A and B are shown apart, each in its own frame.
Chain A
Amino acid sequence: MMNEKRKKLTKLAVAAMLAAAALAMSFFETTLTAGLPLPPGVKPGFSNIAVLFACASLGLPSALSVAAVKAGFTLLTAGPTASLLSLCGGLLSVLAMYFLLQIKHRRLSYAGVSALSAVAHNLGQLAAASALVGSALYLSWLPVLLLSGVGFGLLTGVILNAVMPALAKLKLFR
């Protein structure tokens, strides 16, 4: 009984730490890409490392709440429109991660899961923007957006693959 409660509290604390890490990585990323002439929506998405780790080790509700915290932070820093886009992108990408991670005998590593969820993130944002203007948006740089989603998604996934053994050694859930 006591053990169950402790487990829940640990999960909550780790989820909160991951949310904080996600925000820190988002901020770090904006300082990194500031001034670069990137098309809208093209960014590394380092905070997905934290979201994917949450999804893989804590489960769907925790990953969704990390995505929600990110959207909440965007509400404070960039306003309601950006926040809604962040929420829809985050939601779709977490769902993509969750279903890909559920696959039995999965051959994808975190790199593949991350790449596909990054694309889901971009498409979720485009869908939200389309819903806001009440018309299907087609962006001329959509191919670039897909390309950057896959590229950066692979990169962040490889980073998670690389740090996973170190994270496992922390024995967060014991």
Chain B
Amino acid sequence: MKNKLKRFLRPADLIAAAAVLAAAGLLALLGGTDGATAEIIVGRQTVETVDLTAVREPYTIALDNGVTVAVEPGAISFCASGCPNQLCVRAGKLTKAGESAACLPNETLIRVTGRARNAPDALTG
């Protein structure tokens, strides 16, 4: 029985899987601090910076390229875009420092940064 199982899955497979899961768990634990500001970048140019801590009422920003971004207290998200797969919308709300989402067909990026001491870009391995 044991040998039969070994044909499908070996201990080394599970060790490799566990190593990646540990890395994923570590990332999940580290992704912590609330974001302070959000940047909207179109074609590598920052077009808008929002202080998320100062937002009281939700509102939307319509960009020139047809993308609409929703801002609410402590969060920013894509709410509409003309692209076919809507991945950017499905990315959901960004709330933590270091998170980002992009609408690639429209070259639009939103990202949340914390205060100056946070270095969000260093998180991507």
- Which segment, of B47-55, B57-65, B101-109, faces chain A? B101-109
Interface string of B99-125 (1 = CB under 8 A from A): 111101101010100000000110111
Report whether B104 and A111 are in contact in the complex, using a CB–CB cutoff of 8 Å. Answer: no
Could you tell me the distance between the alpha carbons of A147 and B28 in the complex, rounded to whole angstroms? 11
Other-chain contact of B24, A111, A126, A147, A158 (Cβ < 8 Å): A147
Report whether B12 and A107 are in contact in the complex, using a CB–CB cutoff of 8 Å. Answer: yes
A119 contacts the other chain (Cβ, under 8 Å)? yes
B1 contacts the other chain (Cβ, under 8 Å)? no
B2 contacts the other chain (Cβ, under 8 Å)? no
Number of A-B contacts (CB under 8 A): 124
Residues of A within 8 A of B109 (CB): 133, 135, 137
Residues of A within 8 A of B87 (CB): 40
Residues of A within 8 A of B28 (CB): 143
Interface string of A140-151 (1 = CB under 8 A from B): 111110110110
Other-chain contact of B10, A82, A111, A133, A143 (Cβ < 8 Å): A111
Identity of the chain B residue whose Cβ is nearest the Cβ of A164 in the assembled complex? B7
Identity of the chain A residue whose Cβ is nearest the Cβ of B107 in the assembled complex? A133
Interface string of A30-45 (1 = CB under 8 A from B): 0000000001100000
Could you tell me the distance between the alpha carbons of A143 and B29 in the complex, rounded to whole angstroms? 10
Residues of B within 8 A of A143 (CB): 24-25, 27-28, 31
Report whether B8 and A162 are in contact in the complex, using a CB–CB cutoff of 8 Å. Answer: yes
Could you tell me the distance between the alpha carbons of A142 and B27 in the complex, rounded to whole angstroms? 8
Interface string of A63-93 (1 = CB under 8 A from B): 0000000000000001101100100000000
Other-chain contact of A138, B16, B25, B98, B107 (Cβ < 8 Å): B98
Interface size on B, residues (CB 8 A): 45
- Nearest-Cβ distance from residue A56 to partner chain B, whole angstroms: 15
Could you tell me the distance between the alpha carbons of A158 and B5 in the complex, rounded to whole angstroms? 10
Report whether A115 and B31 are in contact in the complex, using a CB–CB cutoff of 8 Å. Answer: no
A109 contacts the other chain (Cβ, under 8 Å)? yes
Interface string of A99-122 (1 = CB under 8 A from B): 000000001110110011001000
B73 contacts the other chain (Cβ, under 8 Å)? no
- Nearest-Cβ distance from residue A20 to partner chain B, whole angstroms: 24
Which residues on A are within 8 Å of B, measured CB to CB?
39-40, 78-79, 81-82, 85, 107-109, 111-112, 115-116, 119, 123, 126, 129-130, 132-144, 146-147, 149-150, 153-154, 157-158, 161-162
Which residues on B are within 8 Å of A, measured CB to CB?
7-17, 20-21, 23-25, 27-28, 31, 41, 44, 84-85, 87, 90-92, 94-96, 98-102, 104-105, 107, 109, 111, 120-121, 123-125
Known A40-B87, A133-B44, A138-B100; 5 more pairs at CB < 8 Å: A108-B12, A108-B13, A137-B101, A138-B123, A146-B21
User: What 4 A-B pairs have minimum CB-CB distances, sorted nearest first?
Assistant: A112-B13, A107-B12, A146-B24, A143-B28
